[in-house]
């Protein structure tokens, strides 16, 4: 969802108090960033931030960090925070490939991946956020009791993500191939921007929750 020709997005991000600018400097010290030691949940590939903002608003006892690779997309989340500031939500602009340099062992209690880019070519499989290579990264900093929740409407990506679990040493806690018609898993569901778009087109939404 790269938005082009958004002038000055890097400058706005550099000036924004909602963005943590040198995230690697806070490794192992994220409680200081929030000023409390509440659990921290992250979304990787946050997009325009609606999911993170709705969660942060509903759960003030949890701290949230939204991670997004592209400035032009992150800009949209910053603009929304200017209208509705949430003290328990911070943003990072970075490529998740470097995520182990940002969080220390056990520092994160939950990871969300929502509608991750599918990278359909086989040679790009390692770039998929639910790949075994990324699961190995998450293993470094997710708390031992932590959970990873993944939603997508992409059948090939979901099947791939399921196949990656065993080789990466992760286990399935729950899954559905039709979230919006699964009474138990849909309870308390917060829609993402992509989820709203694709479910309104009639696409079933897949979801898993995993642990290790």
List the x/- string, 25-54, binding to ligand SAM by CB under 6 A: -------------------xxxx-------
d(CA 207, CA 212): 17
Build a one-symbol-per-residue string for 65-94: x at contacts with ligand SAM by CB under 6 A, - elsewhere.
--xxxx--x---------------------
Q: Least distance to ligand SAM from the beta carbon of 37, Å?
A: 26
Please answer whether residues 148 and 210 qualify as being in contact, where contact means their C-beta atoms are separated by less than 8 angstroms. Answer: yes
Query: Which x/- pattern, by CB under 6 A, does the window 185-204 give for ligand SAM?
Result: -------xxxx---------
As measured in angstroms, the least distance from the Cβ of 75 to ligand SAM is 11
SS3 164: helix
Rounded CA-CA distance 169/180 in Å is 28
Nearer to ligand SAM, 68 or 164 (CB): 68
Catalytic residue flag (residue 178): no
Calpha distance 1→209 (Å, rounded): 25
Using the structure block, give the residue that is written with the tokens 């002038």: 7
The residues, ordered by sequence, that sit 6+ positions from 188 with a Cβ below 8 Å of its Cβ are: none
Is 95 a binding residue for ligand SAM by CB under 6 A? The answer is yes
Assess 115 for contact with ligand SAM (CB under 6 A).
yes
Least gap, CB of 84 to ligand SAM (angstroms): 17
Contacts of 122 (CB under 8 A, 6+ apart): none
Q: Mind telling me the catalytic residues?
A: 117
Residues in touch with ligand SAM (CB under 6 A): 1, 44-47, 67-70, 73, 95-97, 114-117, 192-195
């Amino acid at each position: 969802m790269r938005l082009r020709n958004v002038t000055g997005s890097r400058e706005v991000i550099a000036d924004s108090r909602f963005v943590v600018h040198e995230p690697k400097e806070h490794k192992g010290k994220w409680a200081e960033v929030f000023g409390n030691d509440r659990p921290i949940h992250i979304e990787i590939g946050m997009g325009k931030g609606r999911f993170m903002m709705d969660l942060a608003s509903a759960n003030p006892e949890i701290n949230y960090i939204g991670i997004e690779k592209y400035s032009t997309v992150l800009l949209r989340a910053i603009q929304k925070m200017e209208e509705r500031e949430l003290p328990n939500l911070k943003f990072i602009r970075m490529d998740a490939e470097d995520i182990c340099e940002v969080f220390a062992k056990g520092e994160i209690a939950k990871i969300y991946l929502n509608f991750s880019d599918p990278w359909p070519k086989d040679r790009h499989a390692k770039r998929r956020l639910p790949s075994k290579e990324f699961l190995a990264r998450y293993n470094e900093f997710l708390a031992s009791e932590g959970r990873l929740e993944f939603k997508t409407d992409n059948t090939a990506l979901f099947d791939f993500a399921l196949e990656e679990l065993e080789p990466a040493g992760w286990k399935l806690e729950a899954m559905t191939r039709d979230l919006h018609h699964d009474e138990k898993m849909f309870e308390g569901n917060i829609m993402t921007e992509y989820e709203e778009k694709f479910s309104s087109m009639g696409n079933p939404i897949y979801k898993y929750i995993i642990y290790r």
